[in-house]
Amino acid sequence: MTRQEDASAAPAAGPGSTLRATIVRGDPDPLGWRALQSAPGQPHVVREDLGPVPDPSTARAVLALAHLSDLHVMDAQSPARLEHLDRMADPDSPVRDRFPTVGTYRAHETLSHTVVEAMVQSINAAGAGPVTGRGLDLAVVTGDSTDNCQRNELDTYLGLLEGRRVEPDSGDPTRYEGVAADTATGYDVRYWHPHGTPTGCADDLPRSAHGFPVVPGLLDAAREAYQATGLDIEWYAAHGNHDRLLQGVTVPDPGLVELATGTWRVDGLPDDQGVLDAWLEQMGPGVGQIGPGGYPPREAAPGTPVTADQRRRFTSRREFVDAHFSPTARPPGHGFTAQNRTTGTAYHATDLVSEGPVVRLLMLDTVNEHGGWQGSLDGEQHRWLIDQLQAGSRRYLDEHARLVTQEVPDVLFIVAGHHTLETMINPYAPPGQPPRVLGAQLTEELLRYPNVVLMLTGHTHRHAVTGYARPASSPVPGGFWQVTTASHIDDPQQSRIVEIAIAEDRLLIAATVLDHLGPVVYDGGKDPVSLAGLSRVLAANDWQRRDWAEFLPDQAPDGRGSVIDRNVLLSVPLPFPMG
């Protein structure tokens, strides 16, 4: 059951709040290009999937946080990228029925860092939750903060959130060397070339067939170093599949390391359809969802020379964790612990600053390090999770759904991680390795612990809010909510503010979508915030996604989700007395 809530009595929303205004696509021009425009704000929708929602005006705030996910800060000039695979999902692709979208190339990928900078400024400007007025206590970043597990991407992401000087450029410092370059060498009409068409070349398809603009000077502006703003609040990090695996799928090997740091960028597949068919057969029907997925063959493939850069080396999970212990980290390690550094693990627990009950953040590492872009848990981490939940629960349900009570202090749990429960479907483990724990099992186990009230996830690049209820026969009513937030790289480039409050015998959870501060209509500026506005309109016009509605109308991808997945008021019963 849902209804809209009158937000007129709520504290003033920040400039990026979608309670104040939303951003929508305008009418298409003859080539299908849609400008963006402002529209009225969207009030909260009350969702009573797990019981009645109390009046927010009677609620006492416990915690307020910002939720960011899937930043995908990327080195768009890296020779380890696979932009040429993306054309399998172009409208005229002969295999598009198998690949409605791929995601290895985006016209706006040179601007990924600007979106994060503009979002940081939006979160800082918001300052507080719009429902309770409580100041933001922290931010939770649920993984895929980098795009291709490269060290230079890792340094840029950390610099953006910590407020350091960032250097988005790589390779040759005097020129841009990615697929968007404005030279005839390596020019390909499948990619957007913002500076225009080189002499003797045909106009690229993004401009000639899909209405993309010419933006002189963009490639140089996107490479310029600048002082990042940094979050005003502490933030806690998760490990995502793109932070560990190439393109989020492939385990790095020495040959791929040499490719990333070397001098040759592969621009296409060998002129042999059999090679592509054999590679797709090896990848399996899920195309990299489960288990090891290799890069396509590079022998005899066309390519372009580039400048080598050792900063493009791939990072291990241990190096990813270690990098979060910089002198500017607040808090030190961003949730990762000394034990994580010693063991090479990336899951951690933190007691958060809150008003009232102890709130503990359990950050999971859902990456299957053996390969595949879907997730799961290793057995050791699974045991750690159950131990954490049991140690903080005065009452819980055993495996037969019988109520168990014990004398321990109650803790309110927020579980977070990169993958959603629905995408934790990757069971692959090499021979001799213990089995992985999947989302279906994890869902059942989380429902055994009433102190778990909220799960924060990303990965799907789509807003979604899902209520998981215990059976009506359970001795403990209610359940928990999974709040999934969209990405910064794909439309709509948004984050959220999540608030938790107490109202009588209920716990209120408010989730509010936040836009970054890039202008709705690109103003031609070359500063990071202006360029973030350009990135947003480019993302909104991705030709594969905008054509998908006609190609597969029942599966059209919209990162905004439905209205009940965006600004929402949720509730669960109080799992224990909170004063």
Q: Which residues contact 364 (CB under 8 A, 6 or more apart)?
A: 238, 347, 377, 381, 385, 415, 416, 417, 418
Q: Give the whole-angstrom CA distance, residue 578 versus residue 79.
A: 54
- Identify whether 578 is part of a domain: no
Q: Give the whole-angstrom CA distance, residue 253 versus residue 262.
A: 14
Report the largest interatomic distance among the alpha carbons of the chain, rounded to a whole angstrom: 78
Q: Which residues contact 382 (CB under 8 A, 6 or more apart)?
A: 437, 442
Beta strands 412-416 and 359-363, pairing class: parallel
Averaged confidence pLDDT in the chain: 92
3-state SS assignment for residue 575:
coil
- Taking the C-alpha atoms of 296, 297, 303 and 308 in order, what is their torsion angle to the nearest 10 degrees? 80
- 3-class SS string, 23-73: EEEEEECCCCCEEEEEEECCCCEEECCCCCCCCHHHCEEEEEEEEECCCCE
Q: Give the whole-angstrom CA distance, residue 243 versus residue 149.
A: 5
pLDDT of residue 8: 43
**Helix pair angle (112-126, 151-162), 10° resolution:** 20
Question: Domain total for the chain?
Answer: 1
Do 19 and 12 contact (CB within 8 A), yes or no?
Answer: no
pLDDT band at 6 (very low <50, low <70, confident <90, very high): low
Tally of residues, the chain: 579
For 429, list phi and psi in degrees, rounded to 5. Answer: -145, 135
Burial environment of residue 300 by CB neighbours within 10 A (0 to 12, 13 to 18, 19 or more)? exposed
- Identify whether 176 is part of a domain: yes
pTM over 0.75: yes
Do 222 and 168 contact (CB within 8 A), yes or no?
Answer: yes
Peptide bond into 575 cis (omega under 30): no
- Identify whether 205 is part of a domain: yes
Q: Give the whole-angstrom CA distance, residue 185 versus residue 303.
A: 10
Alpha helices by DSSP H, 413-556: 439-446, 528-540, 543-551
- 3-class SS string, 294-337: CCCCCCCCCEEECCCCHHHCECCHHHHHHHCCCCCCCCHHHHCC
CA 156 to chain centre: 16
The tokens for 509 are 């959870």
How many Cβ atoms sit within 10 Å of the Cβ of residue 156? 27
Residue-range definition of the domain harbouring residue 215? 2-573
pLDDT tens sequence across 13-62: 789 999 999 999 999 999 999 999 999 999 999 999 999 999 999 999 99
DSSP structural state of residue 147? S
- Identify whether 579 is part of a domain: no
Taking residues 307-312, report their average pLDDT: 97
pLDDT of residue 545: 80
Q: Which residues contact 174 (CB under 8 A, 6 or more apart)?
A: none
- Identify whether 252 is part of a domain: yes
pLDDT band at 9 (very low <50, low <70, confident <90, very high): very low
Judge whether residue 89 has pLDDT over 50. yes
3-state SS assignment for residue 538:
helix
pLDDT tens sequence across 181-234: 999 888 999 999 999 999 999 999 999 999 999 999 999 999 999 999 999 999
Q: Which residue has the tokens 């407020």?
A: 163
CATH code, domain carrying 477: 3.60.21.10
Q: Give the whole-angstrom CA distance, residue 190 versus residue 54.
A: 53
Taking residues 389-403, report their average pLDDT: 96
pLDDT of residue 275: 64
- Identify whether 558 is part of a domain: yes
Q: Give the whole-angstrom CA distance, residue 56 versus residue 492.
A: 28
